[in-house]
Structure 1
Amino acid sequence: MKKYLPLILKLIAAIIMLQTLFFKFTGAQESIDLFTKVAGENEHLMRIGTGVLELIASILLFVPKKVWLGAGLTLGLMGGAIFSHLTKIGIEHNNDGGTLFIMAVITLLAGGILLFQNRKDIPFLKL
């Protein structure tokens, strides 16, 4: 199991991030509502920008020697999502029972573990 843990964590993080892209990129109303709470009239910039960054992070998680970069980007994105939930959106959005918040926490944890596991590949750290 220990040898499969990194793959499982990558899949969890990537699947969670990738499943939301359809809603972000197609302008689904629930996505517009959520990003309007955070960014106001600039919701489209934040919604699309976040989607692009989540796509990049998901790809990098599967690129050898760049897993650390994908994991770091995942941490930043999910940290921002969790912060937004705690300050502007609320734990529960659109009667989802906190599902989006919980998925962000799970993705943050997966990214954190992956970053720790791949810390030796971070070029500017002398480990």
Structure 2
Amino acid sequence: MSTIVAPARPRWTSAALWVVRGLLALAFVAAGGAKLYGVPMLVDEFEHIGLGQWFRYVTGGLEIIGAILLLLPRKAALGALLLICIMTGAVITHLFVIGGSAVPAIVLLALNAVVAYAERGQIALLAETA
């Protein structure tokens, strides 16, 4: 079994990454909570998607799980990868199904990609243990 040791980051890089992870976690807890709570706009949006309201609950739950994982130092990459998958689906849905601006989803996708890239050592460890 090999161990992968990530080089130490400069302090400002670590602090900036924590800020991004924290803001992403807040955004996804808010979005996931709104989906689970049943905000009428989101209920209508998921009705328009056509997969049923169960999909709103699954999406909201996964967003909250991803947000929690972002805040756990050894699981941040896993959370970012989960949220990248969700945001990819959101971008595609905005572009081809419900319309509206896909820019917020693209921004969240890009920020999660930054976290995943910064924590790529964790992804390598996940791939190695699988």
Report the TM range for the smaller structure's normalisation. Answer: 0.7 to 0.9
Contact kept in structure 1, 2:31 and 2:63, CA below 8 Å:
no
Alignment of structure 1 residues 1-127 onto 2, 5 Å: 1-38=12-49, 40=50, 42-90=51-99, 92=100, 98=101, 101-122=102-123, 123-125=126-128
Query: Rg: which structure is higher?
Result: 2
Normalised to the residue count of structure 2, the TM-score between the two structures is: 0.81
> Which consecutive aligned stretches of 4+ in structure 1 deviate over 4 angstroms post-superposition?
none
**Does the CA-based 8 Å contact 2:22-2:71 persist in structure 1?**
no
Q: Which moved more, 1:16-25 or 1:57-66?
A: 16-25
Q: Indicate the percent of aligned positions where both proteins have the same amino acid.
A: 28
How many pairs are equivalent? Answer: 116
- Cα RMSD (Å): 1.7
Partners of 1:74 and 1:111 within 8 A in 2: yes
Gapped runs of 5+ residues in structure 2?
Answer: 1-11
Kept in 2: contact 1:12–1:107 (CA 8 A):
no
What code does the residue aligned with 2:111 have? A
User: TM-score under structure 1 normalisation?
Assistant: 0.82
Distance in structure 2 (CA, Å) of the matches to 1:106 and 1:8: 15
